[in-house]
């Protein structure tokens, strides 16, 4: 659920200059004109090029809200997924938190007392519309601070032509279902023998390393936390999963010319749409990107290490409102954001899954008609495992993973050592 870089820093700078004489451009948002309130919103970009940047969505949303709410202006800055979390962290540290942020983690800000709760912000109707598992994931100590924005689950995408040409599937095969990791390895070897540049793309770069890592951990019987929701990052199944990637996939030259630790998700997607990648883990956004380039592809659940059933990974991105003195205005804006028509406009634009019951029901109807390819993603959502976003330490742990996990699959990499270091820091930051 990531995109290209787009910054509206210039407009942010103009806003700051406007507000400085009144507020010093500090944590409290600017007031302009006759007590007009300006809400500062920071959002992530889900597009893969300037033409489908999320900027257009937020601009239209802001215009519609301003028209319906005279006296409140909305200034939006959109950043790529590789930097938006860090941008918000910098703003908060500098005492210039935005009024509303749409980013990847909320719990550290909630634990620090910097956020309004959902109950303080939303109408009863809006608050009750969130899908139960996602609303629960947005809670810290039973209070919801993180409001789920959109969700996705992940499937293994494969290029039908490349697999057929390599002899993995028959020319007329309608589907392929690898049973375990040995099947993936065998398929990747055939793709390599057929001179496919990247048999299996393994993006462990900064953009979304924490997601790719979690998919493999879950498929190996592990995960970031155990059944008691305590960190288990350095568990034996997790170590084995990374050893498989190091020895069988990277070590045998099956992951292409770019080192996994330097490969970002969108770059892997781009390779797939160009017909250079045989297999990779992907989310619904890849559907349109691949179809637009005429790539014929199949989608199956990522097989587990031994063929046993394991939960798939789900991801939710979050909206939060900082305590900048604009609770009422922020609440109105969020009620507007979560109106069914606005939820549908965004999820349809990027082929993502809604975080609301009304949106989920609409998407279920669409999977039988206008969006049938979304059905397997939607089916997996209710039972999927999410990041441990309720832990205030998660943002830091996620950053640690982004910076270091790529080292584990390098030749000579030490998964056990790196995971132990990450786990030790995680447990220290989240004592139970």
Specify whether 42 is located in the same domain as 171. no
For residues 114-124, give the mean pLDDT: 98
* Confidence (pLDDT) at 48: 78
Specify whether 78 is located in the same domain as 123. yes
Give percent above pLDDT 70 in the chain.
90
The end-to-end CA distance of the chain, in Å, is 31
Q: For tokens 């691949």, name the residue.
A: 290
* Confidence (pLDDT) at 49: 83
Specify whether 284 is located in the same domain as 417. yes
The answer to the question of residue 2 being in a domain is no
Q: For tokens 């802001």, name the residue.
A: 62
367 Cβ neighbours under 8 A, 6+ residues apart: 374, 375, 378
The answer to the question of residue 388 being in a domain is no
Specify whether 300 is located in the same domain as 421. yes
Q: Predicted confidence band at 27 (pLDDT cuts at 50, 70, 90)?
A: very low
Q: DSSP assignment of 372-427, as one string? A: GGGHHHHHHSTTPBPP-TTSTTHHHHHHHHHHHGGGGGSTT--HHHHHHHHHHHHH
* Confidence (pLDDT) at 11: 31
Q: Predicted confidence band at 114 (pLDDT cuts at 50, 70, 90)?
A: very high
Specify whether 227 is located in the same domain as 334. no
The answer to the question of residue 385 being in a domain is no
Specify whether 120 is located in the same domain as 209. no
* Confidence (pLDDT) at 9: 29
Q: Predicted confidence band at 359 (pLDDT cuts at 50, 70, 90)?
A: confident
The answer to the question of residue 3 being in a domain is no
Specify whether 285 is located in the same domain as 170. yes
Specify whether 115 is located in the same domain as 47. yes
Q: Predicted confidence band at 384 (pLDDT cuts at 50, 70, 90)?
A: confident
* Confidence (pLDDT) at 252: 98
Q: In the predicted model, what is the mean pLDDT of the chain?
A: 88
Lowest mean pLDDT among 100-114, 233-247, 377-391: 377-391
Domains in the chain: how many in total? 2
**Residues 148-207: pLDDT tens digits?**
999 888 999 999 999 999 999 987 666 799 999 999 999 999 999 999 999 999 999 998
Residue 13 has pLDDT above 70, yes or no: no
Query: What phi and psi, each to the nearest 5 degrees, are found at residue 117?
Result: -80, 160
Residue 3 has pLDDT above 70, yes or no: no
Strand 314-321 vs strand 147-153: parallel, antiparallel, or unpaired?
antiparallel
For residues 258-276, give the mean pLDDT: 97
Give percent above pLDDT 90 in the chain.
68
Distance in angstroms (rounded) separating the CA atoms of residues 347 and 176: 28
Residue 4 has pLDDT above 50, yes or no: no
Specify whether 28 is located in the same domain as 145. yes
Distance in angstroms (rounded) separating the CA atoms of residues 250 and 216: 14
Specify whether 210 is located in the same domain as 287. yes
Residue whose C-alpha is closest to residue 202's, from 160, 242, 153: 242
Residue whose C-alpha is closest to residue 315's, from 245, 379, 388, 393: 388
Specify whether 166 is located in the same domain as 204. yes
For residues 348-370, give the mean pLDDT: 78
Lowest mean pLDDT among 48-62, 117-131, 164-178, 219-233: 164-178
SS3 content of the chain, % helix, strand, coil (to 5): 45, 15, 40
Residue 33 has pLDDT above 60, yes or no: no
Specify whether 276 is located in the same domain as 412. yes
**Residues 207-261: pLDDT tens digits?**
899 999 999 999 999 999 998 789 999 999 999 999 999 999 999 999 999 999 9
Question: Among 359, 380, 401, which residue terminates a domain?
Answer: 380
Q: 97: domain CATH number?
A: 3.40.190.10
Residue 28 has pLDDT above 60, yes or no: no
pTM: 0.74
Paired strand residues for 73:
38
* Confidence (pLDDT) at 414: 98
Distance in angstroms (rounded) separating the CA atoms of residues 273 and 293: 6
Distance in angstroms (rounded) separating the CA atoms of residues 242 and 401: 13
Structural element, H or E, at residue 298? strand 297-300
Residue 15 has pLDDT above 70, yes or no: no
What sign results for the dihedral spanned by CA atoms 328, 330, 331, 337?
positive
Q: Predicted confidence band at 350 (pLDDT cuts at 50, 70, 90)?
A: confident
The parent domain of residue 183 ranges over 155-311+393-429
How many residues are recorded in the chain? 432
Residue whose C-alpha is closest to residue 350's, from 303, 317, 310: 317
* Confidence (pLDDT) at 367: 61
């Amino acid at each position: 659920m990531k995109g290209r870089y787009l910054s509206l820093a210039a407009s942010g700078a103009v806003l700051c200059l406007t507000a400085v004489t009144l507020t010093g451009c500090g944590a409290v948002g600017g007031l302009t004109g006759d007590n007009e309130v300006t809400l500062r919103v920071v959002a992530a970009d889900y597009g893969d090029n300037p033409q489908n940047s999320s900027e257009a969505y937020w601009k239209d949303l802001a215009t519609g809200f301003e028209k319906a709410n005279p006296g409140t202006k909305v200034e939006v800055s959109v950043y790529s997924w590789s930097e938006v979390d860090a941008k918000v962290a910098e703003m908060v540290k500098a005492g210039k938190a935005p009024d509303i942020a749409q980013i990847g983690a909320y719990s550290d800000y909630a634990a620090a007392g910097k956020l309004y709760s959902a109950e303080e912000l939303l109408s009863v109707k809006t608050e009750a519309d969130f899908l139960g598992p996602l609303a629960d994931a947005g809670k810290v100590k039973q209070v919801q601070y993180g409001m789920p924005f959109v969700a996705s689950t992940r499937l293994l995408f494969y290029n039908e032509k490349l697999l057929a040409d390599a002899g993995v599937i028959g020319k007329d095969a309608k589907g392929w279902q690898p049973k375990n990791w040995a099947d993936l390895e065998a398929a990747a070897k055939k793709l390599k023998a057929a001179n496919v540049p990247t048999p299996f793309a393994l993006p462990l770069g900064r953009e979304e390393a924490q997601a790719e890592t979690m998919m493999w951990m879950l498929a190996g019987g592990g995960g970031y936390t155990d059944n008691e929701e305590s960190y288990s990052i350095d568990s034996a199944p997790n170590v084995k999963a990374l050893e498989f990637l190091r020895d069988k996939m990277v070590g045998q030259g099956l992951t292409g010319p770019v080192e996994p630790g330097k490969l970002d998700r969108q770059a892997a997607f781009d390779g797939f749409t160009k017909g250079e990648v045989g297999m990779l883990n992907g989310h619904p956004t890849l559907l349109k990107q691949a179809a637009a380039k005429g790539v014929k592809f199949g989608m199956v659940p990522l097989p587990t290490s031994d063929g046993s059933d394991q939960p798939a990974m789900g991801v939710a991105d979050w909206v939060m409102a900082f305590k900048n003195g604009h609770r009422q205005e922020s609440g109105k804006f969020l009620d507007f954001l979560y109106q069914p028509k606005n939820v549908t406009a965004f999820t349809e634009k990027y082929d993502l899954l809604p975080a609301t019951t009304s949106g989920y029901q609409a998407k279920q109807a669409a999977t039988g008609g206008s969006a049938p390819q979304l059905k397997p993603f939607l089916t997996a959502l209710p039972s999927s495992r999410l990041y441990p976003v309720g832990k205030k330490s998660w943002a830091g742990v996620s950053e640690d993973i982004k910076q270091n996990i790529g080292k584990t699959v390098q030749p000579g990499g030490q998964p056990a050592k790196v995971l132990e270091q990450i786990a030790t820091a995680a447990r220290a930051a989240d004592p139970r």
